[in-house]
Structure 1
Amino acid sequence: MSEIIQDLSLEDVIGDRFGRYSKYIIQERALPDVRDGLKPVQRRILYAMYDSGNTYDKNFRKSAKTVGDVIGQYHPHGDSSVYDAMVRLSQEWKLRHVLIEMHGNNGSIDNDPPAAMRYTEAKLSRLSEELLRDINKDTVPFVPNYDDTTTEPMVLPARFPNLLINGSTGISAGYATDIPPHNLGEVIQATLKYIDNPDISVSQLMKYVKGPDFPTGGIIQGIDGIKKAYETGKGRIVVRSTVETETLRSGRQELIVTEIPYEVNKSALVKKIDELRADKRVDGIVEVRDETDRTGLRIAIELKKDVNSDAILNFLYKNTDLQISYNFNMVAISDGRPKLMGIREIIDSYLNHQIDVVTKRTRYDLFHAEKRMHIVEGLMKALSVLDEVIAIIRGSKNKKDAKDNLVAEFDFTEEQAEAIVTLQLYRLTNTDIVALEKEHGELEAKINDLRNILDNHDALLNVIKDELKEIRTRFKTERLSRIEAEIAEIKISKEVIVPSEETILSLSRDGYIKRTSVRSFNANRVDEVGLKEGDALLSHLETNTQHIALVFTNKGRYLYLPVHKLPDVKWKDLGQHISQLVPIENDEYVLDVFTEPDFKQNADYIMATKNGMIKKSELELFKTTRFNKPLIAMKLKDNDELINVMRIEADQLITIVTHTGMSLTYSTDELSSTGLRAAGVKSINLKDDDVVEMTQLIQPNDTILMATQRGAVKRIGFKVLSEAKRAQRGIKLLKELKSRPHRIVGADVISDPESIYTIYSNKDSFSGKVSDIHLTEQYTNGSFVVDTDEFGEVNALSVSVPETSKDE
């Protein structure tokens, strides 16, 4: 053997070898492909399971069998690396939608290792079938495997945008990727909108993709960071645990963590909090317990008595993984090279892949349909001259001779002749020609459809859209992560419950109540109140810690709450849910709150229901010594509920607005005082299909604002109303339409025209100034402020008074 010795510098050799190695791990190991969102090992696992029939509709199979198939045919690496990747595809706290279903111990959120592969069983999930669907129809390129004994796909057909839905994380040479998971329904909706409008902006896409949707839930803060990431591929958000406050029988409070940030190790988090307690870095924690069970995640942090729970929680947010920063780094393989991509580029790359997949699948289906059509035409022709065909076959020497004779005599093609000579005798019946004619017609229609898809780009896009909609319908789920626009500032404070003093009491629509110091309230605007996503401020009022709060609910009940027992928190903090103070029913919600210094004043409460009942009760009747459960304020009939509560000290005018646009105005002196358990009297005479939307006190200078389900807002002045008697039909406020009549879904009496109104649908909200809505006459339907095709049907209206000057 002759030796060939090359004289090379070490620097050149190492640079060349490392460059080759880097190229390999970037392209073939650590980064996902933008088209199917999978790394090579994940793609090989899914394809190996699919190829061996280990699908969702079959029985589970030993994981070791799959691992063996993968390393034996496609992935020449260690079995542990393949099994680890396989396990991750089955972990619901890692993937938003798991791609593999696994029986047995597949690890835990505490980072416990899974059972050995010989003990666990697995199969493809139902959703992963959509990644592999049509792979046998020449839709994706196949390449030889590592030893040229078989072939493997370079990419999967991926009938849904898996990269965004399940996200990805990985580190290679010089590149890393962190793509968070998203909600399947939102991503597909955004893809559909992109197909319809390729020039759609990131801001418009964010109407559909609100942000990441982590499988572990939590609260995401920072819409600006989300938008930046969607535009550039890089951005920062804050992910915060979902924490509630519970009160123990001993009077102590405990923080209950039910959701933690994505990819946080729960056991390490619990250990860290307990270390802070043991090291006395935070004073006020008695015990930390991991109470997680099969019903869900739960970490209990028990606090000392009279400790400010919000201050401790803020300390834990700052010093533990109860709150983390998540940095987008959306790098994926595109056209064979790593690329930092925004959401539009990811969707565009995915769409181009789908166009290619559907085009190839259509060509495949067209080829086989035309091939079958050719055979069917030959069989139909043969049946039309059946006797001659039989005679020729009987007179032939062998099969080949019979085929040659048929071709020569009747101009059959080779394929048609083959089909004729292999035809079974039972198919020579009269029924078979009918079946062939039916099949011929179906094939003809199918071929026309397939050719139309290939010739018409819009038809091809419609196919993609229809298939995406079908996947969305089958697999969409509700969001798990809530999104808050701003990253909350963490201020660590060790304040305790303040003594009796002037305070601000606030109540939200979702039932969160709190008292706040006047200083904290004055330091912020009214609209900066701490609220959960989708919640709104119902009422805030100045009171004293010695006063009593009366909270009325839709069930005709009231809660008697001493103000000093309410949670004392900052204006920007959430407060405590009313049910943690007094137990209420699951479908019961708060309507309004009033405070009383005592119950000796000459005042009355007026309560009105949606079915048109009303009652007046004296203030002194509401005093009680038992306040650990809700008390009856008004007896309600079946299917009725309380909608408005008013407090008066002298007779006033009251006005009612109904769903169909009727209105009645009368004086409260028509109401007699009754006991709390009374059902009241009829307020307005309603038609069978009508309900009351609003019952409120009104002054001559006030106006009424109404919103209809069609997105119209109407404002009328006091002069439109006419004072009448109780229990009449009233006057009509809307113009009746035969087609799609307007129906009032919310109304409010406006004292200050500078107030802000907000209308809501199931998917959006819109706000505006009341003064921008001009006063109109009686028989009009107002002005349209939203398009319900985009906005959705309006279902609610709320009005907030403008912020008063801090100098006043």
Structure 2
Amino acid sequence: MGERFSRYSRSIIQERALPDIRDGLKPVQRRILYAMNKDGNTYDKAFRKSAKSVGNVMGNFHPHGDSSIYEALVRMSQDWKVREPLIEMHGNNGSMDGDPPAAMRYTEARLSKISSEMLRDIDKDTVDWVLNFDDTEYEPTVLPSRFPNLLVNGSTGISAGYATDIPPHNLGEVIDAILYLQKHPDATLDDLMQFVKGPDFPTGAIVQGIDGIKKAYETGHGKIMVRSKTSIEPLKGNKSQIVITEIPYEVNKAQLVKRIDEIRLNKKVEGIAEVRDQSDRNGLSIVVELKRDVDSTGILNYLFKNTDLQVSYNFNMVAIDHMRPERLSLKKILVAYLEFQRRVIEKRTKFNLKKAQERQHIVEGLIKALSILDKVIKTIRASKNRKDARDNLVKTYDFSEKQADAIVALQLYRLTNTDVTQLETENKHLADQIASFEKILNNPVELNRVLSRELRELAKTYRNPRRTEIQSQVSDIKISTDVLIPDEDVIVMVSHDGYIKRSSIRSYKASGADNGLKDDDYSIFMKELNARDHLFMFTSKGNLIYRPVYEITDAKWKDTGEHISQTIGLDADEDIIGTFAFNSLKEPGNFLIATDEGHIKQTAFTDLTPGRTYKKHAYTYEKLKDSNAKVVAVKYLTADQQAGQLLLMSRDGLALRYNVQEVSINGARTTGVKSMALRNDDKVVDLQLVDETSVVAIVTQRGAFKKLAVKEIPATSRARKGVMILRELKNNPHRVIDFETIVDGHTPLEVLTDRKRVHDILPSEFSVGGRYSNGSFVIDIDSEGIPAVIRQKPSEITIN
């Protein structure tokens, strides 16, 4: 298997996928050009059916599928794929949209004019020849390639262990570099790059990154950015449009337009009104029409970053040199081409010299024969046949056999004085030619002069302006958040069970009371926010989940939304205990965090700003010492609230009030300081921000409700035991489940039980009790369940 694979690898490397360094052609391309030239299917003749050319190539030189031959033929005709097309084609030869060409029976093809330069002098022994696959005729191993096709048209291919990506270049620039290198063999890369500025793609566009070009030309490997040529045009009514006139090399135009339209439909970026492909026979034109008063530059930058309007191109300049694949520098390619062209001219000159010498020999014989014409005629008339006449001339007058053959074949009308003069003129001309050929072969300077003259003539005939603009620096693409995120108001909801969604105001109004949650689930956060706001969700296990509002799943209000665990894993007993929305990620305040095991801390907002992995991982905001511990409260404090007070209550009925300033500021991954001194297995149940006039509502596990004035609890200092706020009973004593600050007597409170039942309480219907009161029984725990949470009853959102 190894032996067979190595043979296969050698075959596809040398004879299929990689171009030759000398003519820049793969074998199939070379065979197509040679076969069409041999057939006389050239630029100065009529077009012929492509199927005829393909069949000819397949039958005589390339024993592979007709589709691969036709694809290679078509590609050489596509002026958006090759810088100088080698084939001219009538009919559908594909398009930039990725449309396939018409079948070969419908299209017609012939060699282009510049192809004649690839094949010029091929009949003068300039290249080596080998037998074809069935040994019936010879084919060239390389074409004379009188222009540097490898760089001009580039190449792309994949073989075993090797791939190549050589971009197209400008013919005039490459020839200028070759002429310079011819005079300065020690030229540096910088010298050559004065002429070859960089790739010149047939589709134009803009190349950025001179360092990448230089590295590629130095090592054969480098990366550049290719950016579409665009302009922003103003329209009536404060609107504008982005007009794209050139796109990067080998980008599918239809796919590009489709991708931009998908961005418009999916509202990935706000402000695109319409996308139109207005390309016609006059050129490419894609129009992205924008809405009124939008950041057109920002949208264009977004399209550069997220579509093929800008792509990277990786040089990988690999070609076959002396039957071996090599990664090549620019100078190595130019040197190899120059040496090849010198050999071509040398072989052509030897061929022409030999022809001229042979003709001169014949002419000299004819002149000699005409000078003794009567004797020659007498000898011929006395001969038996043509062979006898030839032998008699050789024997009698010392002619060579070739001269004697020419004399015998001479027509009678040539026996005039005029013809003698013509022969003498031809002889002189041949003598001059022979001297010229010998001078070229004997003097390398003369050979170089011939080569440079021919290259200049070729450049003069085929030079055309550069299409691709070269920019030295790769532009940084900065996308404004305002472009990415629509400036719209939405309704955001987070549920107790961990469902989260955002809905349009229109959907919220249309759905009424149906919020899409399951019967036993309820909302813990519901607010009208802007899509550019930021949501922080704190869990009872010390994890912080961050979501920009615009990234929250956009759902109908009557749909459930997405569960937070779809992206971030939560423990089964982990709840979201605090949700906050902010306009920016540069808020000046602190978060006040309390745990049930008696720790408290402040953490600056800036310490909790999200990192890059926020979509997949939660961020630790509180380090819990015990696996069973949990955070019971998270409050956000502005600078004004730093002068306020906080109130803590424990399960066993102890309350402690002190100033917020006593709580030190700690980092995110810390536990904090002691909040209150707990006895035995007592736990902190909640924390509230209060002042001297505050009244709190307390609910116990027995279903009792109690109002208590905060002034009843003396303000002391942090880490103390606190004072009792319930009367201790010997049998089934009351235990604090939760407490809440009463905003005013008219705002209802609701108690949520462990059976997911909701019990509404109107605080104004209850009087304020003393510290040693156990309150009034309001909840039947047998039928409704044990209270779990007391909170302000969420009010309906008022939509302006």
TM-score, normalised with respect to structure 2? 0.60
Report SS of the residue matched to 1:463.
helix
Please name the residue that 1:25 is paired with: 12
CA distance in structure 2 between the partners assigned to 1:117 and 1:337 by the alignment: 34
Report SS of the residue matched to 1:245.
strand
Matches within 5 A, 1:89-100: 89-100=76-87
Please name the residue that 1:729 is paired with: none
Report SS of the residue matched to 1:236.
strand
Please name the residue that 1:218 is paired with: 205
Please name the residue that 1:406 is paired with: 393
Structure 1 residue 390: deviation in Å? 1.2
Structure 1 residue 262: deviation in Å? 0.2
Instruction: Specify the structure having the higher radius of gyration (Cα).
Output: 2
Report the AA paired with residue 163 of structure 2.
Answer: A
CA distance in structure 2 between the partners assigned to 1:171 and 1:405 by the alignment: 66
What does the per-residue CA deviation read over 1:24-62, in whole Å, with 9 as the maximum and x for residues that have no partner? Answer: 000000000000000000001111100111000000000
Structure 1 residue 227: deviation in Å? 0.7
Percent identical: 63
The structure 2 residue matched to 1:372, chosen from 335, 359, 371, is 359
The structure 2 residue matched to 1:140, chosen from 118, 127, 142, is 127
Please name the residue that 1:175 is paired with: 162
CA distance in structure 1 between the partners assigned to 2:60 and 2:279 by the alignment: 41
The structure 1 residue matched to 2:406, chosen from 419, 437, 440, is 419
Please name the residue that 2:368 is paired with: 381
Please name the residue that 1:360 is paired with: 347
The structure 2 residue matched to 1:309, chosen from 290, 296, 302, is 296
Report SS of the residue matched to 1:101.
strand
CA distance in structure 1 between the partners assigned to 2:177 and 2:240 by the alignment: 43
In the alignment, structure 1 residue 467 sits paired with structure 2 residue 454: yes
Matches within 5 A, 1:337-356: 337-356=324-343
CA distance in structure 1 between the partners assigned to 2:362 and 2:234 by the alignment: 78
Matches within 5 A, 1:601-616: none
Structure 1 residue 163: deviation in Å? 0.2
Instruction: Say what the alpha-carbon RMSD is for the aligned residues.
Output: 0.9
Matches within 5 A, 1:709-748: none
Give the conservation status (yes or no) of the 8 Å contact 1:139–1:360.
yes
CA distance in structure 2 between the partners assigned to 1:15 and 1:405 by the alignment: 68
Report the AA paired with residue 359 of structure 1.
Answer: E
CA distance in structure 1 between the partners assigned to 2:72 and 2:238 by the alignment: 48
CA distance in structure 2 between the partners assigned to 1:321 and 1:470 by the alignment: 39
Please name the residue that 1:161 is paired with: 148
Structure 1 residue 246: deviation in Å? 1.5
Give the conservation status (yes or no) of the 8 Å contact 1:312–1:494.
no
Report SS of the residue matched to 1:208.
coil
Give the conservation status (yes or no) of the 8 Å contact 1:308–1:494.
no
Query: What is the aligned residue count?
Result: 483
Please name the residue that 1:201 is paired with: 188
Tell me, which stretches of 5 or more residues in structure 1 are unaligned? 1-13, 497-808
Report SS of the residue matched to 1:20.
helix
Please name the residue that 1:332 is paired with: 319
CA distance in structure 2 between the partners assigned to 1:81 and 1:376 by the alignment: 51
Matches within 5 A, 1:501-650: none
Matches within 5 A, 1:48-67: 48-67=35-54
Please name the residue that 1:670 is paired with: none
Please name the residue that 1:111 is paired with: 98
CA distance in structure 2 between the partners assigned to 1:174 and 1:282 by the alignment: 42
Structure 1 residue 484: deviation in Å? 0.5
Please name the residue that 1:102 is paired with: 89
CA distance in structure 1 between the partners assigned to 2:392 and 2:56 by the alignment: 50
CA distance in structure 1 between the partners assigned to 2:394 and 2:63 by the alignment: 52
Report the AA paired with residue 208 of structure 2.
Answer: Q
In the alignment, structure 1 residue 440 sits paired with structure 2 residue 423: no
The structure 2 residue matched to 1:121, chosen from 108, 115, 132, is 108
In the alignment, structure 1 residue 453 sits paired with structure 2 residue 452: no
CA distance in structure 2 between the partners assigned to 1:114 and 1:328 by the alignment: 28
CA distance in structure 2 between the partners assigned to 1:458 and 1:442 by the alignment: 23
Report the AA paired with residue 47 of structure 1.
Answer: Y
In the alignment, structure 1 residue 259 sits paired with structure 2 residue 255: no
Is the deviation greater in 241-250 or in 466-475?
A: 241-250
Give the conservation status (yes or no) of the 8 Å contact 1:160–1:468.
yes
What does the per-residue CA deviation read over 1:587-612, in whole Å, with 9 as the maximum and x for residues that have no partner? Answer: xxxxxxxxxxxxxxxxxxxxxxxxxx
Please name the residue that 1:188 is paired with: 175
What does the per-residue CA deviation read over 1:460-483, in whole Å, with 9 as the maximum and x for residues that have no partner? Answer: 111111111111000010000000
Report the AA paired with residue 223 of structure 2.
Answer: R
What does the per-residue CA deviation read over 1:741-769, in whole Å, with 9 as the maximum and x for residues that have no partner? Answer: xxxxxxxxxxxxxxxxxxxxxxxxxxxxx
Report the AA paired with residue 175 of structure 1.
Answer: Y
What does the per-residue CA deviation read over 1:298-357, in whole Å, with 9 as the maximum and x for residues that have no partner? Answer: 000000111111111001000000000001000000000100000100011111111111
CA distance in structure 2 between the partners assigned to 1:341 and 1:216 by the alignment: 25
CA distance in structure 1 between the partners assigned to 2:3 and 2:390 by the alignment: 63
CA distance in structure 2 between the partners assigned to 1:168 and 1:320 by the alignment: 25
What does the per-residue CA deviation read over 1:567-598, in whole Å, with 9 as the maximum and x for residues that have no partner? Answer: xxxxxxxxxxxxxxxxxxxxxxxxxxxxxxxx
Tell me, which stretches of 5 or more residues in structure 2 are unaligned? 484-800
Please name the residue that 2:784 is paired with: none
Report the AA paired with residue 105 of structure 1.
Answer: N
CA distance in structure 2 between the partners assigned to 1:395 and 1:267 by the alignment: 84
Structure 1 residue 391: deviation in Å? 1.4
Structure 1 residue 250: deviation in Å? 3.5
Report SS of the residue matched to 2:287.
strand
Report the AA paired with residue 14 of structure 2.
Answer: Q
CA distance in structure 2 between the partners assigned to 1:334 and 1:58 by the alignment: 35
CA distance in structure 1 between the partners assigned to 2:284 and 2:236 by the alignment: 22
CA distance in structure 2 between the partners assigned to 1:251 and 1:48 by the alignment: 60
What does the per-residue CA deviation read over 1:366-408, in whole Å, with 9 as the maximum and x for residues that have no partner? Answer: 1110000000000001111111111111222222222122112
CA distance in structure 1 between the partners assigned to 2:33 and 2:236 by the alignment: 52
Structure 1 residue 409: deviation in Å? 1.9
Structure 1 residue 494: deviation in Å? 4.9
Report the AA paired with residue 413 of structure 2.
Answer: Y
Structure 1 residue 251: deviation in Å? 3.3
CA distance in structure 2 between the partners assigned to 1:405 and 1:97 by the alignment: 59
CA distance in structure 2 between the partners assigned to 1:418 and 1:146 by the alignment: 38
Report SS of the residue matched to 2:302.
helix
Please name the residue that 1:428 is paired with: 415
